[in-house]
Amino acid sequence: MTIDRRSLLRTSGVAAAGALGAAALSSTARAAGFTAPAHGPHSTGSGPTDGVTRTLLQEHPSPAEGWETVQTLVQIPRHKESGRHSHPGVEVGYIVRGDVLMKFDDRPSIRLRTGDPFFIPSGTIHNAVNVGKVTTMMLSTYVVDEDESLVTTY
């Protein structure tokens, strides 16, 4: 199956809704709460993470044995947050749209705006809070231990 990744980003993942079904998600991504776009919000109710979606774009074995590379599109509605979490490897990201306050347990928070890259070291507990006026879109690529869950929540 071929998916035009540029179209996917331009349409906030909606164009791929039919092409990326739940079967396309790895067990690692499913265990981490990632959904295909057609499956909607990551959580329900009226909490701070309501409406946050994490869409798996691609997943591949890393050149380093025992590691995998996972790329996602994270969308955080206005006044919502990703929730405190960490990853068993590095996260390299880019703010496609919006404004985020990236909070850390072990260092000062940083403000990220459209066009800003970011890097989060392995095991670092963090929380992305949408402080802007639009739904934030973040492109995140992880290089993680293939035997561990992609996300650990706190």
Per-residue pLDDT, averaged over 127-141, amounts to 97
Q: Could you state, in order of their start, the residue ranges of all structural domains in the chain?
A: 5-153
pLDDT averaged over the chain? 80
Q: Is 85 helix (H, G, I), strand (E, B) or coil?
A: strand
What are the tens digits of pLDDT across the range 67-106?
Answer: 999 999 999 999 999 999 999 999 999 999 999 999 999 9
Strand (E) or helix (H) holding 95:
strand 89-97
Rounded to an integer, what distance in angstroms lies between the CA atom of residue 123 and that of residue 88? 6
- 10 Å CB burial of residue 152 (0-12, 13-18, 19+) is middle
Instruction: Tell me the whole-structure pTM to 2 decimals.
Output: 0.72
Nearest partner of 85 among 44, 144, 27, judged by Cα: 144
CATH code for residues 5-153: 2.60.120.10
Per-residue pLDDT, averaged over 19-38, amounts to 43
User: What's the pLDDT at 47?
Assistant: 83
What are the tens digits of pLDDT across the range 38-67?
Answer: 333 444 457 888 899 999 999 999 999 999
Per-residue pLDDT, averaged over 25-41, amounts to 44
